[in-house]
């Protein structure tokens, strides 16, 4: 009986110590390697070449090339849902995402919020206004486009403002929420 008691305590301690290490795995990719931050990638792109990353942001431009589609994205931190934050002041820079197969640029117009999962492909230097800017490049494996209606939050309903010109003094079943107040 005494020996079973010690085995129970030992197995409980092992279980608890295993749970303590789970917090570290939340910061990891499925492959078990630590998640690469945008700041780390920007500082030394070549070190992370071929590694998986997940970044998000706001589309600045999308252009069809001979061998794929190039998307310039303003990097934004990701929320727990992997949706980019809407606060543009939190951006740490820009990156280029390249889809090596057909992706219609019309599906990613300026201002679209996206989350990109892919592999680091290196970097490229392109003109940005009156300077040269070095962009980290990500080969796209998956693109998540966030719908516009997510940005505004839940719909806001207008209060009853008196008689309706369509139904008289009663509420109409065809009434729609105003998207902006």
How many residues does the structure list for the chain? 181
Task: For 48-80, write each residue's pLDDT tens digit.
Answer: 999 999 999 999 999 999 999 999 999 999 999
Q: What is the pLDDT of residues 77-136, one digit of tens each?
A: 999 999 999 999 999 999 999 999 989 999 999 999 999 999 999 999 999 999 999 999
Cβ atoms of 120 and 55 closer than 8 Å: no
- pTM reported for the whole predicted model: 0.66
Rounded mean pLDDT, 144-162: 62
């Amino acid at each position: 009986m005494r020996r079973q008691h010690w085995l129970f305590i030992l197995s409980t301690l092992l279980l608890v110590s295993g749970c303590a290490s789970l917090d570290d795995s939340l910061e990891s990719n499925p492959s078990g390697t630590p998640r690469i931050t945008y700041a780390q990638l920007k500082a030394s792109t070549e070190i992370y070449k071929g590694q998986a990353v997940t970044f998000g942001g706001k589309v600045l431009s999308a252009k069809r090339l001979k061998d794929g589609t190039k998307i310039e994205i303003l990097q934004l931190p990701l929320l727990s849902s992997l949706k980019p934050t809407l606060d543009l002041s939190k951006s740490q820079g820009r990156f280029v995402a390249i889809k090596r197969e057909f992706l219609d640029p019309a599906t990613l117009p300026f201002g679209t919020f996206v989350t990109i999962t892919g592999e680091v492909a290196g970097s490229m230097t392109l003109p940005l206004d009156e300077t040269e800017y070095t962009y980290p490049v990500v080969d796209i494996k998956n693109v998540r486009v966030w719908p516009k209606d997510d940005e505004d939050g839940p719909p806001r309903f207008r209060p009853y403002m008196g008689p309706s010109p369509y139904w008289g003094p009663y509420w109409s079943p065809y009434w729609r929420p105003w998207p902006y107040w």
